[in-house]
Chains A and B, each alone.
Chain A
Amino acid sequence: MSDDLIQRVLKVIAASKRIPPETVTIDSEFQQLNIDSMDAVEILFALENEFDINIPDDQVRGITGVRGMCEGLEKLIAAKTSPIGTGQ
């Protein structure tokens, strides 16, 4: 996982939840950060804008922490930029 991606994700979470950036790490679990379902939906919205991707609901289920979120995003971003992913 690229460090740039992780840093952008941490920043997005902190900005959405309005918490100090240093409180969010790659190992943070959503529960620790008090992220409820509506917070999560807002963070997904912000990540879609940040990376210019669509995040389908079925890619979101079962993800409980920042690391899982970054791994999922990496796949979605790769699918967007790869010629196979765009079907061209």
Chain B
Amino acid sequence: MRRVAITGLGAICALGRNVEDVAAALRGGCCGIRPIETVDMSQFRFTAGAEVPAYSHRPYFDDRPADFLDRFAQFAVIAAREAVADSGLTFTPELRETAAIVTGSCVGGQSTEDIGFRDVYKLSLNRVHPLTIPKTMANAGASQISMEFGITGPSFTISTACSSAAHAIGQAFWMVRNGITDAAIAGGSEAPFSFGILKAWEAMRVVSTDTCRPFSRDRRGMILGEGAGMLVLEPMDIARARGARIHAELVGFGMSADASHITQPSAAGAARAMRAAMRDAVIEPEAVGYINAHGTGTLANDVTETAAIRTVFGAHAGKLPVSSTKSMHGHALGAAAALECVATVLALRDGVLPPTANYLGPDPECDLDVIPNQARACQVEWALSNSFAFGGLNAVLALRKA
């Protein structure tokens, strides 16, 4: 088995349009949650979201090429471009044939689909735009990245709700580790701000009417976000030989299914995924120095995740810093785990643990060290990034400081 280096990072979300800006916002504990602008929210119970502010496809795409990409696929390409440029990797003809692309997306091109459905149902038009299908499909991000770089190797998309990008990064990690490919672009992208899907989220009664306060008293739920995170993964020896900057090492990936309820999380399932990731990384729980939590800010998740962490880490849980960066970049669904993996890499690389923003005070049922409101300088060797999806499909990544 080969060791796997993370040599490239890309990110776009409410906190910034590149990794440097996102890193600065995470360090500063800045919250990207604001009133939603792209949808008329006058008939909603909630009004806040974590959108990429004032986003336009320019300067990233010319008008005609942009016609072929839904917002979520644009985010995927923007983050992939940054990650590839950051890695300094050259896609030779040989590498193009074997390089892999694995992306995550939960809902695909929602704003495109919404326009199509509005046209037929509300406006009673008898036709929808012919690009509705290719823009809506959840794999459009992976396909557009493959065309962007001329990559013809194994490329696919994983859709496991809020765990999508963790499953995607985990698969790409295993492919590099097992010698299936010498380079992978992996991550996730999402752009869920459409009227129809926001109404569906409203109906679930899990979206906060103020902001996102994970693990805090008086938390009122999750806040939706959008964006993309992408990583470039390479075998450690090849990355070192070409003199690449190694941001961090991916060391483990664990998965589990709750097999209990379609929306209510299970502590046992979350615990199994964390244990599986540490088993895959061959590390003991006491070695872990930081967890980037799933931490949605819902009543159910945060209590369940706390119980799972207490079960897995025992006494060590009391001195283990845990934070939810969803308090700043929102819950970007299929992109969430990718943004959080980037945040975890930055924490290890820069020795600064991002905070849980908007924290008001302790909830006795969430009695962890959640790094309230202010980032913490702390050198950590090993970290986990948790993702626990609706449907009970869990994925945890284990990372190590380079």
Interface residues of chain A, those whose CB is within 8 Å of chain B, are: 36-38, 41, 44-45, 54, 56-57, 60
Q: Does B261 contact A (CB under 8 A)?
A: yes
B205 proximal to A (CB < 8 A): yes
Main secondary structure of the interface of B (DSSP, over half): loop
Kindly report which residue of chain B lies nearest to residue A42, judged by CB atoms: B203
Interchain CB contact under 8 A, B264 and A38? yes
Cβ-defined partner of A45 (8 Å) among B45, B203, B220, B261 = B203
CA distance A56 to B204 in the complex (A): 12
Complex interface bits, B119-142 against A, C-beta within 8 A gives 1, otherwise 0: 000000000000000000000000
- Tell whether B38 is near chain A: CB-to-CB under 8 Å: no
Q: How many residues of B contact A (CB 8 A)?
A: 11
- Which residues of B have CB within 8 Å of A38? 261-264
B205 CB contacts on chain A under 8 angstroms: 41, 44, 57, 60
B72-111 CB contacts (< 8 Å) to partner A: none
Complex Cα gap A56–B264 (Å): 21
Q: Say yes or no: A41-B45 contact (C-beta < 8 A), given A36-B261, A36-B264, A57-B209.
A: no
The 8 closest A-B pairs by CB, nearest first: A38-B263, A41-B205, A57-B205, A45-B203, A41-B204, A37-B264, A36-B264, A56-B45
Closest to B206 in A: A41
Q: When the two chains form their complex, are residues B203 and A37 in contact, meaning their CB atoms are under 8 A apart? A: no
Which residues of the partner chain B approach A54 to less than 8 Å between Cβ atoms? 45
Q: Is B300's CB within 8 Å of the partner chain A?
A: yes
Task: Determine the chain A residues whose CB is within 8 A of the CB of B261 once the complex forms.
Answer: 36, 38
Looking at A36, A38, A45, which has the most chain B CB atoms within 10 Å of its CB?
A: A38
Closest to B43 in A: A54
A56 to B209, CA, bound (A): 10
Min CB distance B191 to A, Å, is 25
Q: Is the interface of A mostly helix, strand, loop or mixed?
A: helix
CB-defined contacts of A36 to chain B, threshold 8 Å: 261, 264
Per the bound structure, the CA–CA distance linking A12 and B302 in Å amounts to 31
List B173-224 residues whose CB lies under 8 Å from chain A: 203-205, 209, 220
Interface hits, B214-253 → A, CB 8 Å: 220
Q: Min CB distance, B334 to chain A, in Å? A: 21
Cβ–Cβ < 8 Å partners of A41 in chain B: 203-205
Inside 8 A of A44's CB, which chain B residues have their CB? Answer: 205
**Which of B45, B209, B220, B300 contacts A37 (CB under 8 A)?**
B300
Closest to A36 in B: B264
| Residues of chain A within 8 A of B209, CB atoms compared | 57
Complex Cα distance A41/B263, Å? 11
**Chain A residues within an 8 Å CB radius of B45:** 54, 56-57
Q: B300 — nearest CB in chain A belongs to which residue?
A: A37
Contact with A along B295-324 (1 / 0, CB 8 A): 000001000000000000000000000000
What are 16 A-B interface contacts by the 8 Å CB criterion?
A: A36-B264, A37-B263, A37-B264, A38-B261, A38-B262, A41-B203, A41-B204, A41-B205, A44-B205, A45-B203, A54-B45, A56-B45, A57-B45, A57-B205, A57-B220, A60-B205
Q: Which residue of B lies closest to A40 (CB)?
A: B205
Q: How many Å from the CB of B121 to the closest CB on chain A?
A: 18
A56 CA / B220 CA spacing, docked (Å): 13
Q: How far is the CA of A54 from the CA of B300 in the complex (A)?
A: 23
Residue with the highest number of chain A CB atoms closer than 10 Å, among B203, B204, B205, B261: B205
Inside 8 A of B262's CB, which chain A residues have their CB?
Answer: 38
Give B41-82 interface residues, CB cut-off 8 Å to A.
45
Smallest beta-carbon distance B203→chain A, Å: 6
Q: Which residues of A contact B220 (CB under 8 A)?
A: 57
Give the distance to chain B from A55, nearest Cβ to Cβ, in Å.
9
Considering the complex, give the chain B residue whose CB is closest to the CB of A56.
B45
Q: Shortest CB–CB separation between residue B392 and chain A, in angstroms?
A: 12
- Complex alpha-carbon distance, A41 and B390, angstroms: 15
In the assembled complex, the Cα of A56 lies from the Cα of B45 at a distance in Å of 8
Contacts of B263 in A (CB 8 A): 37-38
Q: Give the interface centre of A36, A41, A57 by most chain B CB atoms within 10 Å.
A: A57
Complexed CA–CA distance, A42 and B262 (Å): 13
A43 to B203, CA, bound (A): 11
A37 proximity list for chain B (CB < 8 A): 263-264, 300
Closest to B220 in A: A57
Other than A36-B261, A41-B203, A54-B45, give 17 A-B pairs with Cβ distance below 8 A.
A36-B264, A37-B263, A37-B264, A37-B300, A38-B261, A38-B262, A38-B263, A38-B264, A41-B205, A44-B205, A45-B203, A56-B45, A57-B45, A57-B205, A57-B209, A57-B220, A60-B205
